[in-house]
Amino acid sequence: MVKKIFDFYYKMSAVSVINTRFFSKATIFIGIPVNQTMIPMLKKLLFALCFAFALTAAHAQLKSPRQLFPGLFETVQMSDIFPDNKTFVDATAKRDPVLILKDYNEQKDKPGFDLKQFVTDNFIIPGTHNDGFKSDIQGGIRKHIDTLWQVLYRRHESVSQYSSLLPVPNDFVVPGGRFRETYYWDSYFTMLGLQESHKTKIIQDMIGNFAYLLDTYGFIPNGIRTYYLTRSQPPFFSMMVDILAKDEGNKVYTKYQPELLKEYEFWMKGSQNLATGKAIRNTVRMQGGEILNRYWDESDQPREESYKKDVNAAKDTKQAPGDFYRNIRAAAESGWDFSTRWMDTTGKLETIQTTNIIPVDLNCLLYHLELDIAKSYTIQGNEAKFKYYYNKAQQRKRAIQKYCWSAKDGWFMDYNWVEKHTTTHLSLAGVFPLSFKIADIKQASGVAANLKAKFLKAGGLVTTLDRSGQQWDSPNAWAPLQYMAIDGLNKYGNFNLARTVAENWVRSNIGVFNATGKLMEKYNVIDTDVKAGGGEYPLQDGFGWTNGVLLNLLNHYHIDTL
C-alpha cells in the first residue's frame, strides 16, 4: 500500500496534462477554481497528504520480522542458509506475510520441504549497495569519495510495504556493505565529508529524517529498521545541528529545538523520581545524587539481526538469558559491539555488563545536547530556560569529572555504577572529554601523553589496549574515534600530536585503497598490511563514516600526498 501511494504521486507528478485534469476535478471538493499556476503548490499538498497517509498505514504494521514470521524466523536464523543473520531480516516479502506464514506452516513438515527454496520463492533477498561498483584507483582518493556519495545515496520513496525498512520523508546516504539503511551515529561522521563536498542539501535531508524519527517515535532508532525500534545509538543529533549551523546560521537551533528536547526526554525518561543508587532505562542516579546515563535496550530477547550468535553466546554466560541479551543489545546501542570496555576484567563476552556501566562518551554527548538546548533558548531570549539547561550541563560536567576521571591512569574511564568504581579497560572513549572541553588542562595533558605512549600506532589510534578478538578492541581502529581524538587534541593545543594521528590514519586509509580500491569500515593500525578482523560479520567496505572523516582530514590538513 505504501509503495502504491508513492507510485501514484510520482506518476501524477510526471504528467502535467493529467495533473491539470486531476486538479481541475479537485475543485469539486475544495470549491476553488484551479489554474496552471496553482498546480505546483497543489502537487506539494498532494504529496504531503499521500506521505502522511502512507506513514499512517505503515505505522499500523510496524512489526519486526520475528513478530511477522514466528517459527519461520527462528528456523531460518538458526539454519545456515544465509551466513549473515541480517540477510533475512532485510529481505522483502513478495506478498502478504500472513499468507507466507500460513503456507510455511502447512508445508514445513511435508517430505522434501526445502527451506532455502521456500525463502527465495517468497522473499526478495537483498544484496549490498556496492554490488557491481568498480573503483578507479588511478583517479585518486578524492574522486573515489566523490563517486561513493552517489553509490551510497538512496531515494526515500523506495520503501516496500513488506520491508523491515522504516519510511522517512527524505533521501539519505547509507554506510555501505551489509548496512543498507541509515544508521544514527554513522551519519554524523558521514556528514563531515558531505559538508566538505558542499552537499548541504543531503545534510538537510538527513537531519530532517532524524527530526522526523524523533517526532514519530520519540527517539532516533539505531537504524531505520523495525527490528531497531527498541534502542537508539550515541546521541549525535545535536552535533549534526552544529554542522548545519555552519552553513545556515543559528536559526537551525530554534528550528530543531522541539526535536532536541525530544532527544533529551528520551535519554532522561524516568529520571525525575529515581532513588539514589537506582537505574531506570537509560538513566542512573549516582550515589552523590547526580543523574548520569547508560546504554539500554527495551528488549531482553536475542537481536533479530544477530539471532543465532546471540542464542549461542548465551549458552556460555552465567547471567539469566534476559539479562545477557539486554547487555548485548545495550552494547549494540553504544555502537561499540563488541569491546572489552563492556566486560569484566577477563574481557570475555559472557561477562558483558553494559547496563552496569556509565560510559564517559555517552555522557559527554548528552552534555553537548544540554548546551545546544540552552543555546536554542538564548537565541529565543528565554533566559530562564537557558539557565535551566545550562545548569544541567554544568552538573553533568562535574559528575563526569567526579566519576570518570582516573588520576592513577591519567585517563577518563567508564564507571561501574553497581560496583562503584571506574572500570579497568582504557579505551578511546576517554578522548571525548577533550573534544567537548570538559577536561581541565592537566587532565588533557595526561590524556595526550597516554595517547602518544599507548594508543598511537603506525596506522592511527587503536580503540583499546586489549587484544580480545572483538572488533572494537586492538588492533582495530575506527574513523569516528580518530576524528574525536584529533578534535580533542586540537582543542587543547596539542597540534603536532593531532597532525601525527591524522597523517597516520590517512596513510592507512590510502594504503588500503591503493591495494584494494576500497575504503573500509575499520582498519588494523598495528599490522597495517593485515585486514581488520573480529566482529560478527566480514569486513565491510563503502564506507560512509570512513569517507566522511578521511575527506575532512585531507582538507583540514591539506594532505595530497604522504
Residues labelled as active-site residues = 337, 521
Q: Is the dihedral of CA 107, 111, 112, 115 positive or negative?
A: positive
Nearest to 476 by CA among 453, 457, 489: 457
Q: Which three cell numbers stand for residue 426?
A: 582504557
Cα 120 to Cα 117: distance, rounded to the nearest angstrom: 5
The DSSP secondary-structure symbol of 439 reads: S
Q: Which helix (H) or strand (E) holds 280?
A: strand 279-280
> What number of other Cβ atoms are within 10 A of residue 387's Cβ?
13
The maximal CA–CA distance of the chain, rounded, in angstroms, is 78
Nearest to 508 by CA among 436, 454, 473, 456: 456
Q: What are the φ/ψ torsions at residue 456 (nearest 5 degrees)?
A: -75, 125
Q: Would you say how long the chain is, in residues?
A: 562
Torsion of CA 27, 31, 37, 40, to 10 degrees: -70
Q: From residue 437, how far is each of 394, 479, 488, 489 by CA, in Å? A: 12, 20, 8, 10
Amino acid occupying residue 357: I
Which spans in 15-96 are helix H? Answer: 16-25, 27-30, 39-59, 65-68, 72-78, 86-90
Cα 401 to Cα 284: distance, rounded to the nearest angstrom: 16
Q: Which three cell numbers stand for residue 198?
A: 558542499
Q: Which residues pair with 520 in a beta bridge?
A: 541
